[in-house]
């Protein structure tokens, strides 16, 4: 049955994509991993006029109707799903790739394939959250190529990924990307640092949005303030960026054309604000890595539509080390920081008013020396996966009704220096 579905999918791709060359299908004889053909992209794109208003469009499923049954039978089934990790490799042979894992009903992962982004990774840690980001419907995957200053877009199929586009990121060393409806913004972390916007069409093509590039807190001069993540708020009206070295959080309001305002700078509650996610009632939950004798902690804020930031819970200490990345369950009730320095995940409850309560400092353990970094939660909120670059594995946990974690297992298939994780 899977072979039949794959044949239908590949046939449709060959028929529908005639203007772009396709790479030959190949199979790795040693691992039996399938490498799907992908659409070559030249990285060129037109520019949207600065005064053009954006339609109320969303990044929707652009698959042909004939393969809707294939999609429904695989990727969109709650009992199944996928996890994606970026190799972040910087080499002439293959460059950066996305490793796709299929997810079984019990949460176990199996490598489906490795799919080139067409760009280069950094070959070292990115120091960011959001290097890989899925669209809300799970049909599009956005990846940063920090070594070649590009962004890649993949169409997501049950059996693999197809490269839809690759464009310049609008700055140096892109490390984080966020998507909301038909818009994405990229965080460029290289000096002096910026954010830059793009439109996304139904075919996954990116078009730079004119006059969308904005400075960080440094006003566009000198060294970048070690920005860690960019993300839209849940309503799409504000962008948030964390800056590690300046200990600041920057917000930008978004106008009707999708363009960001000038930066609005706020002091972080604690030292080294890093990853963040949104919890109950759209509460902004931010990890604070600490360091230099300062503890790791997590804070919560309310973000106003005017870009204001109101502290709710200030620096709730984890008792662990290097709390850098954070995920929130789909209903926003529980938040988890991944603590790279102590190989653990800390569990917090996000109350209805946005206040944080530490429930378990070591709610999950990934194993000695694993140094967990990026993490992702499945759309049903029942599974969490944490990336361990040191052990080159992904560690899976099931989420119980009270938020506690039960380890599922550790899954390999990665090379050194992976970065970014997205889960469905």
pLDDT at residue 197 in the model: 99
Confidence of residue 292 (pLDDT cuts 50, 70, 90): confident
User: 106: left (phi > 0), else alpha (psi -120 to 50), else beta?
Assistant: alpha
- Res 25: pLDDT: 30
Question: Degrees (nearest 5) of the Cα angle 180, 183, 186?
Answer: 95
Cα–Cα distance for residue pair 182/57, rounded to 1 Å: 6
Quote the CA–CA distance of 183 and 199 in Å, as a whole number: 5
Return the higher-pLDDT residue of 43 and 289.
289
Look at residue 13 in the predicted model and tell me its pLDDT: 43
pLDDT confidence of residue 69: 29
Return the higher-pLDDT residue of 38 and 344.
344
Supply the pLDDT for residue 122: 97
Of 214, 158, 151, 157, residue with least CA distance to 179? 151
Judge whether residue 23 has pLDDT over 80.
no
Question: Is the pLDDT at 271 greater than 90, yes or no?
Answer: yes
Peptide bond into 371 cis (omega under 30): no
Average pLDDT over residues 25-43: 34
Mapped onto helix, strand or coil, the DSSP state of residue 344 is: strand
Q: What is the pLDDT of residue 369?
A: 87
C-alpha distances out from residue 292 to 250, 296, 344, Å:
23, 10, 20
Looking up tokens 């709650």 gives 78
User: 39 pLDDT exceeds 80?
Assistant: no
342, 364 in Cβ contact below 8 A? no
Q: Are 184 and 258 contacting, i.e. CB atoms less than 8 angstroms apart?
A: no
At residue 165, the pLDDT reads 98
What is the pLDDT at residue 11? 42
pLDDT at 30: 30
**90 alpha-carbon distance from chain centroid:** 19
The per-residue pLDDT for range 166-202, each reduced to its tens digit, is: 999 999 999 999 999 999 999 999 999 999 999 999 9
- What's the mean pLDDT in 4-29? 37
Averaged confidence pLDDT in the chain: 85
**3-state class of 96 per DSSP?**
coil
Q: What was the pLDDT predicted at 216? A: 99
**Per-residue pLDDT tens over the stretch 48-101:** 333 344 333 333 333 332 223 223 223 343 447 999 999 999 998 889 999 999
Q: CA angle 183-159-150, nearest 5°?
A: 35
Domain ranges of the chain: 1-226, 268-424
Question: Which band of pLDDT confidence, cut at 50, 70 and 90, is reported for residue 418?
Answer: very high
- For domain 268-424, the CATH superfamily is YVTN repeat-like/Quinoprotein amine dehydrogenase (2.130.10.10)
Average pLDDT for 25-38 = 34
- pTM score: 0.84
Q: What percent of the chain has pLDDT over 70?
A: 81
- At residue 395, the pLDDT reads 98
Q: How is 98-143 classified by DSSP, letter by letter?
A: EEEEEE-TTS-EEEEEEEE-SS---SS----S-SEEE-TTSSEEEE
End-to-end CA distance of the chain: give it in Å, rounded: 23
pLDDT of residue 68: 30
Instruction: Quote the tokens at residue 345.
Output: 């995940």
Task: With CA atoms as reference, report the closest residue to 86 among 124, 60, 56.
Answer: 124
Query: Is residue 38's pLDDT more than 80?
Result: no
Q: What value does the mean pLDDT take over residues 382-400?
A: 97
Phi/psi of residue 2, nearest 5 degrees: -65, -40
Most confident of 3-17, 36-50, 207-221: 207-221
* pLDDT, tens only, 134-167: 999 999 999 999 999 999 999 999 999 999 999 9
Residue whose structure tokens are 């949005």 = 209
Decide: helix, strand or coil at residue 67. helix
Whole-number pLDDT of residue 16: 36
């Amino acid at each position: 049955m899977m072979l039949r579905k794959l044949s239908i999918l590949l046939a449709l791709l060959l028929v529908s994509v005639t203007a772009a060359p396709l790479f030959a299908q190949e199979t790795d004889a040693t691992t039996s991993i399938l490498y799907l053909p992908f659409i070559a992209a030249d990285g060129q794109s037109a520019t949207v006029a600065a005064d053009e208003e954006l339609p109320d469009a969303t990044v929707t499923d652009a698959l042909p109707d004939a393969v809707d049954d294939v999609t429904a039978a695989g990727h969109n089934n709650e009992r199944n799903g996928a996890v994606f990790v970026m190799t972040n490799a910087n080499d002439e042979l293959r460059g950066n790739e996305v490793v796709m894992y299929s997810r079984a009903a019990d949460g176990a992962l199996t490598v489906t394939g490795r799919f080139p982004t067409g760009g280069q990774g950094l070959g070292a840690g990115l120091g960011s959250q959001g290097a890989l980001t899925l669209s809300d419907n799970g049909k599009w995957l956005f990846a940063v190529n920090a070594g070649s200053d590009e962004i890649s877009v993949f169409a997501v199929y049950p059996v693999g990924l197809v490269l839809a586009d690759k464009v310049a990121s609008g700055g140096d060393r892109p490390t984080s990307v966020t998507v909301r409806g038909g818009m994405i913004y990229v965080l460029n972390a290289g000096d002096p640092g910026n954010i830059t916007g793009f439109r996304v069409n139904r075919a996954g093509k990116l078009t730079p949005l004119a006059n969308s590039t904005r400075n960080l807190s440094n006003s566009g001069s000198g060294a970048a303030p070690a920005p860690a993540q960019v993300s839209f708020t849940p309503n799409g009206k504000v962008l948030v960026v964390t800056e590690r070295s300046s200990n600041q959080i920057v917000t930008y309001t978004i106008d009707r054309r999708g363009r960001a305002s000038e930066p609005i700078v706020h002091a972080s509650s604690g030292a080294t604000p890093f990853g963040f996610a949104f919890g109950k009632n759209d509460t902004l939950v931010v990890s604070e890595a600490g360091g230099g004798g300062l503890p790791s902690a997590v804070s919560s804020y309310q973000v106003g539509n005017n870009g204001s930031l109101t502290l709710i819970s200030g620096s709730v200490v984890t008792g662990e080390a290097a709390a850098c990345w954070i995920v929130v369950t789909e209903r926003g009730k529980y938040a988890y920081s991944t603590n790279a320095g102590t190989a653990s995940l800390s569990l917090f409850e996000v109350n209805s008013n946005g206040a944080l309560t530490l429930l378990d400092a070591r709610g999950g353990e990934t194993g000695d020396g694993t140094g967990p970094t990026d993490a992702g939660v499945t759309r049903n909120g029942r599974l969490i996966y944490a990336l361990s670059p040191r052990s080159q594995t992904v560690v899976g946990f099931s989420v119980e009704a009270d938020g506690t974690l039960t380890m599922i297992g550790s899954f390999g298939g990665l090379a050194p220096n992976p970065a970014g994780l997205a889960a469905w």
